[in-house]
């Protein structure tokens, strides 16, 4: 009988490769954990990550109004600046909630499929926004999409948007006048609240975020 001799170094290498392959297979079957927001300042959270399906790099900066102790435990109103990089193309979006919106996760851009060729069409509403600081700007009435979550998204210019300016255009107004006031252009009979955000902490985070650079 011939006994084949295998050097111990080779045996160790083969064993290590087997362990590595098994570990890799295990990791491939596990779902990556979802990013969680990190509090960076009072009432300001930062959510950053890479969408696994599209590969989009994103950062969401969520500025909430202080919670009213006398109100319910529902989430307070918040203003969100979202910056993303998709295959080298940068985008900036604004979102606002008048309160009660639970979710904060990033929603990847629409990708057409055979069964779903066109992006969803959401209803729209006009909001008036003004910028305040050492002076006060005139109010701008602009169109926002009403998302299924109840959050509103500023409609950046496009074929289906009446807005001529992008959210990035209005960032220069915030830089000069960091107080953002938002209200419905046509309030309902019951009346919706008027929101006022002091956005200076959020602007500091925008400056520190490479995804938000033009």
pLDDT value, residue 67: 82
Q: From CA 41, how far away is CA 202, in angstroms rounded? A: 9
DSSP code of residue 30: S
CB neighbours of residue 96 within 10 Å: 21
Question: Per-domain residue ranges for the chain?
Answer: 37-68+78-103+121-212
Given a contact cutoff of 8 angstroms between Cβ atoms, the answer to whether 132 and 140 are in contact is no
Residue range 118-132, pLDDT digits in tens: 778 899 999 999 999
pLDDT value, residue 189: 59
pLDDT value, residue 71: 65
Residue range 63-111, pLDDT digits in tens: 999 987 766 678 999 999 999 999 999 999 999 999 999 888 998 877 7
Q: What is the three-state SS of 93-162?
A: EEEEECCCCCCCCCCCCCCCCCCCCCCCCCCEEEEEEEEECCCECCCEEEEEEECCCCCEEECCCECCEC
pLDDT value, residue 40: 72
pLDDT value, residue 39: 78
DSSP code of residue 177: -
Enter the pTM of the model: 0.80
pLDDT value, residue 33: 56
CB neighbours of residue 158 within 10 Å: 9
Q: Which helix (H) or strand (E) holds 45?
A: strand 44-50
Spatial CB neighbours of 94, under 8 Å, sequence gap ≥ 6: 79, 80, 81, 82, 153, 154, 167, 170
Backbone angles phi, psi at 66, to 5 degrees: -60, 140
The SS3 assignment for 209 reads coil
Q: Which two tokens stand for residue 126?
A: 């006009």
pLDDT value, residue 41: 74
When computed from its CA atoms, the radius of gyration of the chain, rounded to whole angstroms, is 24
Q: Which helix (H) or strand (E) holds 23?
A: helix 8-29
DSSP code of residue 210: G
What residues in the chain have per-residue pLDDT under 70? 1-34, 70-72, 112, 114, 188-192
């Amino acid at each position: 009988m011939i006994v084949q001799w295998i050097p111990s170094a080779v045996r160790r290498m083969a064993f290590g490769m087997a362990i590595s392959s098994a570990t890799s297979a295990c990791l491939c079957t596990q779902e990556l954990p979802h990013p969680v927001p990190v509090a960076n300042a009072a009432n300001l959270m930062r959510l950053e990550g890479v969408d696994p399906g599209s590969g989009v790099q994103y950062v969401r900066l969520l500025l909430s109004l202080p919670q009213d102790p006398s109100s319910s435990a529902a989430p307070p109103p918040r203003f969100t600046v979202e910056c993303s990089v998709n295959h080298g193309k940068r985008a900036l979006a604004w979102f606002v909630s008048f309160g009660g919106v639970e979710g904060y996760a990033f929603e990847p851009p629409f990708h057409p499929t055979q069964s779903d060729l066109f992006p969803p069409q959401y209803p729209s509403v006009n909001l008036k926004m003004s910028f305040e600081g050492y002076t006060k700007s005139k109010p701008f009435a602009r169109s926002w999409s009403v998302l299924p979550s109840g959050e509103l998204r500023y409609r950046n210019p496009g074929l289906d948007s009446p807005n001529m300016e992008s959210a990035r255009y209005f960032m220069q107004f915030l830089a000069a006048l960091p107080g953002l006031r938002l209200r419905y252009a046509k309030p309902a009979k019951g009346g919706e609240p008027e929101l006022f955000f002091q956005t200076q902490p959020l602007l500091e985070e925008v400056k520190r975020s490479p995804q938000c650079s033009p």
